Structure 1
Amino acid sequence: MMQVYQSRFGQIEVDPDTIIHFPQGIPGFEECKNYKLLHEDSSAPKLLWLQSLDDQDVLFTLIEAERLGLNYQLTLSDEECEYIELKAAEDAQLFLILSRPEGQEINANTRAPLVINLQSRKGLQKLDVKADIVFRNT
């Protein structure tokens, strides 16, 4: 276990086997390549936080795309699959970055989801993506 101090969460223990690596970083944060996915203490957390382990001030609030009823027809290039070592579509999970500009509603960046390979724990941000909205009876 590693002890890491993060500005929002304080001292946290990080198992090196749970670190998510973004080989190219996230656009705008290319120097931050290693992250820890944190969540509320719940069996079905609604929000997650992607905390950079390279810069304690870099933190993204995430939500799973399916929670918002979004159906992505996402195509990754061979190169992108190689970056995150993705061999099977079911190993990929899509997350959206949430933001709240001052004085505005919370927004989800639906055009640039994060794709994380749950097996290799490697990720990338896919830019300029279109999603269909799926309405569910809940």
Structure 2
Amino acid sequence: MSSQETTGKKTLQTRFGDVSYDPDKMIRFPEGLVGFEQLLDFVVLPNRGKDDPLFCFQSVEEPHLSFLLINPALFFPDYQIAPGPEELEKLAIKETDPYFVLTTITFHDDQSITLNLLAPVIYTPKTDRALQVILDGSGYKAKTPLPENQ
């Protein structure tokens, strides 16, 4: 891990430059992400502006890896996912606790943008835990283009 400690905070050397973070405020993926199961701890990089809808989850274990996430309901209002009992247990929350559904967003070389609606991330600020779930049989795609009217 490429980090150094400074007064309780740590610093990651990332492709975005040095990022200071509080180790007590990391987001924990107990099962990692699909294809990156070994990566469990992430920090959220600050948004560029208060109205910026993008979140950058920066890996603590692999500082060169980060993932952009967004609320898919901004583009697909009917897209709603609720954690089941197994997910609630892994997130260490109850049904009534707040959580957010996010999806990875990809900006392609051909200027197209896609969202991974097949494998959303459920995040809860109560425990700072997150899970990526696979919606097998849902009809959702890993590379869903943004709607034309966006």
TM-score of the two chains, using structure 1 as the length reference: 0.82
1:42 paired with 2:42, answer no
Structure-1 residue corresponding to 2:146: none
Are the aligned partners of 2:31 and 2:131 in contact in 1 as well (CA < 8 Å)? yes
Matched to 1:67, the amino acid is L
Counterpart in the other structure of 2:21? 14
Distance 2:86 2:24 in 1: 24
For CA contacts below 8 A with separation 6 or more, give which structure has more relative contact order. Answer: 1
Structure 1 unaligned spans of 5+: 132-138
Structure 1 position 106, deviation (Å)? 1.1
Q: Size of the alignment, in residue pairs?
A: 132
Taking structure 2 as the reference length, the TM-score comes to 0.76
| 1:79-133 CA-partner distances (Å, limit 9, x unpaired) | 21111112134511011101134325011111211100111000001112567xx
Given that 2:10 and 2:23 are in contact with CA atoms closer than 8 Å, whether structure 1 keeps it comes out as no
Unaligned runs of 5+ in 2: 1-7, 141-150
**What's the RMSD between the two structures over aligned residues?**
2.2
Larger radius of gyration: 2
Distance 1:75 1:130, change over 3 A: farther
Q: What is residue 135 of structure 1 aligned with on the other side?
A: none
Residues 1:118 and 2:125 are matched in the alignment: yes
Shift of 1:78: 1.8
**Contact 1:49–1:62 (8 Å) recurs in 2:** yes
